[in-house]
Structure 1
Amino acid sequence: MRNTPWNAVSLLLLTTALAACGGNKQAGETPRPALVVHPGGGAEAALSAYAGEVRARRESALSFRVGGNLTRRDVDVGDRVRQGQVLAMLDPGDLTLQAQAAQAQLAAAEADLARARDDRDRFAKLVEQQVVSRSAFDAQVAAFKAAEGQARAARAQMDVARNQAAYSQLRAPRDGVIASRQVEAGQVVAAGQTVFTLAADGGREVAIGLPENRIRQFSPGQAVMVELWNAPDRRWPGSIREISPAADPQTRTYAARVDLPGDAAQAVELGQSARVYVQDNGIKAALKLPLSAVQRGPDGNTSVWVVDPADGKVALRPVRLGPYGETDVPVLAGIKADDWVVAGGGHLLREGQAVTPVDRDNRPVPLRAAVAKR
């Protein structure tokens, strides 16, 4: 009993020490670093990009109308040609002989026609004198008409042979540039076999492929924006001119052509790579967040961690999302453009926990300064 006062003092000192240790532990808990970002996009998040290639609006596959041995090739890929210019030539030997044979047949037919005409006129005088019968005269008239028909047929055949002889020269149907070449001099080509592809001067378009799961969102005349890969700081307005009614059997996409205005057509070159941006329906002003920022809340709803700039503590906020992309997702409701959202490590946080905001370079983000500026 004599030691009771000392025991009470010892118990009091021990309780105070434990309390002090607990307070120091609570006070010494450091905020966890958290990567924070502002929601990006706005109207930009509602744009879908499709890769394409600049093509001529009118592309012609040039070929000979007759077959033969290609003896001359006067142009190559990239050469500019004029309407009527000779591009290539076949060996005209056989075609020239056919034209000469047709001309000889025409001369023979015209000689027969002249003889039949003379016989008809002579029999006409004899039938008036009743020297020959009427039936003999009718036979001469029929022979004249037959000779006349033979002469017309021979004349048409000669015209065809002359045309075929002229077909040995392949000429440019309009001004443009040679986009591709499929044959070489010395090769035997068939009638209708493609020799060159001509990209005509004038309109320029961007050829793209539209996915089959979203094909109903596109229509001819729909406004788009076109950006060249070598000029990402400028975009030209355009419109969808046509959409293929059937999907490509290999890529399962629908081929589409995007028409470019006059100034853009003058600025682009054939074969350049381009991006076509199309406004998505239903999310015209959506913000976007990285996929790593999306969390599943306790109630099962999709949520994100938002940092309060005043005290640096996080709060779980439910959001409504649009269709997921490869790296980000549109946010239709639940956040504002100036909110600070945790973009990484959200699964390690708890409600009301204090964090140290950092950017992607691991540099501190001064949230209070941002509040003061606003």
Structure 2
Amino acid sequence: MSRHALSRLAPLCLALSLVACSDTQAPQPGIRPAMVAQPQLAAEQVDSYPGEIRARLEPELAFRIGGKVTRRLVEVGQRVDKDAPLAELDPQDVRLQLDASRAQLQSAESNLQLARAERDRYRTLQQRGMISKSLADNAENTYRAAEARLRQVRAELNVADNQAGYAVLKAPQSGVIVQRRAEVGQVVAAGQTVFVLAADGEREVAIDLPEQAIGNLAIGQEVAVELWSQPGQQLAGRVRELSPAADSRSRTYAARIALQQSYAQVELGQSARVFIARNGDVPLAVPLSALSAEQGQPYVWVVDPQTSKLKRTSVRVGAYGEKSVPVLDGLTASDWVVVAGVQVLLDGQQVRPVDRQNRAVDLAAKE
């Protein structure tokens, strides 16, 4: 083939190759990971205090009678059911008292039978006119006294029977043993604390407030709680109790923060932080890396929890901080916002949400 023919054939091949490339669809990009987080309270307007997860009810358990502890049936941290035995006292003394009460009951019943027979005999003699009315009345009074004595002895027997049962300390409700204050062989008095039980049910955060923070807190005020083991995930709380007086040693005021929902991941003894607003409502904040702007209008990328698709959401922001910016309008605390790589995202794009440790995040499960 001549050089002239080859020169005319080359443009034709190039055009055909371009047409073939245009007919072939470009490969679809895979679902890319996106680092997400929920908006947090603006730290500049929030005070935080360390605390500990406690049970709403923590009864101190004690024997109702005194004695020597012969058995301890549970350990600290052990879960117990209602009416489960926890410890036992030496039952010898209460058993002897119970036996004595039973013997007194038999004696009182015999005395009553004798008094009843005497009364009936004196009534018959009086009706025949063989004795005076005073003797018959005396027999009647003796019978009534014996009857009252029997009732007294029966009551004493019930008390002795109850005390025999009090020699076994039982759990008043289900929960976890959090403290033990007595050992086997120790002699305890009635009412002396032996165990402290953290009852099942509501959980709270116990915190200590300095004097200057008392004015920022009131009963019923809503606060936010964050577990040390779950940073970035805030739980709703409410101030339930506030001590009216400072502790004599630490000079701090004890407060209890009730969690407003039943959170399954909250365990006794966990460390937590309580966030309290200084003045009124506290705005949310997002990292500076989550914010973009177009024509002077700031926006963030919000991930739909159901579809994992992105939605561009316009926001109104406040003064920029060193690492974050407060969001005055446009977001809620339950939203999930992309916090990295926002400049390469598209509206409606599907992503794979991950946290800062590159672990998958199930947004629907954490709504």
Q: What range describes the TM-score normalised by the shorter chain of this pair? A: 0.5 to 0.7
- How far off is 1:261 after superposition? 3.1
Matched, 1:337 2:320: yes
From the CA coordinates, give the structure whose radius of gyration is larger.
1
Q: Structure 2: how far apart are the matches of 1:271 and 1:134?
A: 78
The alignment partner of 1:66 has SS state of coil
Note the 1:1-374 alignment, pairs <5 A.
Answer: 43-264=42-263, 266-281=264-279, 284=282, 336-337=319-320
Q: Structure 2: how far apart are the matches of 1:338 and 1:67?
A: 63
Q: Is the 8 A contact 1:45 1:286 kept in 2?
A: no
Q: Please, which runs of 5 or more residues in structure 2 have no aligned partner?
A: 1-39, 286-317, 324-367
The alignment partner of 1:163 has SS state of helix
Q: Which amino acid aligns with 1:207?
A: A
Q: Please, which runs of 5 or more residues in structure 1 have no aligned partner?
A: 1-40, 288-334, 341-374
Q: Structure 2: how far apart are the matches of 1:219 and 1:261?
A: 16
Q: Is the 8 A contact 2:111 2:146 kept in 1?
A: yes
Identical pairs, percent: 49
- How far off is 1:282 after superposition? 5.9
Structure 1 moving runs of 4+ over 6 Å = none
Give the direction of change, closer, same or farther, for the CA distance of 1:114–1:166 in structure 2 (3 Å limit): same
The alignment partner of 2:42 has SS state of helix
- How far off is 1:233 after superposition? 2.1
Q: Structure 2: how far apart are the matches of 1:214 and 1:93?
A: 55
The alignment partner of 1:59 has SS state of coil
Q: Structure 1: how far apart are the matches of 2:319 and 2:73?
A: 64
- How far off is 1:216 after superposition? 2.7
Q: Which amino acid aligns with 2:279?
A: N
- How far off is 1:234 after superposition? 1.1
Q: Which amino acid aligns with 2:226?
A: E
Q: Which amino acid aligns with 2:101?
A: A
Q: Deviations along 1:193-218, whole A, 9 cap, x unmatched? A: 11111100000000011222231321
Give the direction of change, closer, same or farther, for the CA distance of 1:211–1:122 in structure 2 (3 Å limit): same
The alignment partner of 2:250 has SS state of coil
- How far off is 1:339 after superposition? 9.6
Q: Is the 8 A contact 1:46 1:283 kept in 2?
A: no
Q: Is the 8 A contact 1:63 1:193 kept in 2?
A: yes
The alignment partner of 1:142 has SS state of helix
Give the direction of change, closer, same or farther, for the CA distance of 1:123–1:211 in structure 2 (3 Å limit): same
The alignment partner of 1:231 has SS state of coil
Give the direction of change, closer, same or farther, for the CA distance of 1:205–1:339 in structure 2 (3 Å limit): closer
Q: Is the 8 A contact 2:202 2:262 kept in 1?
A: no
Q: State the aligned residue count.
A: 252
Q: Which amino acid aligns with 1:280?
A: R
Give the direction of change, closer, same or farther, for the CA distance of 1:251–1:135 in structure 2 (3 Å limit): same
Q: Scaled by the length of structure 2, what TM-score is found?
A: 0.65
- How far off is 1:245 after superposition? 1.6
Q: Which amino acid aligns with 1:337?
A: Y
Q: Is the 8 A contact 1:178 1:199 kept in 2?
A: yes
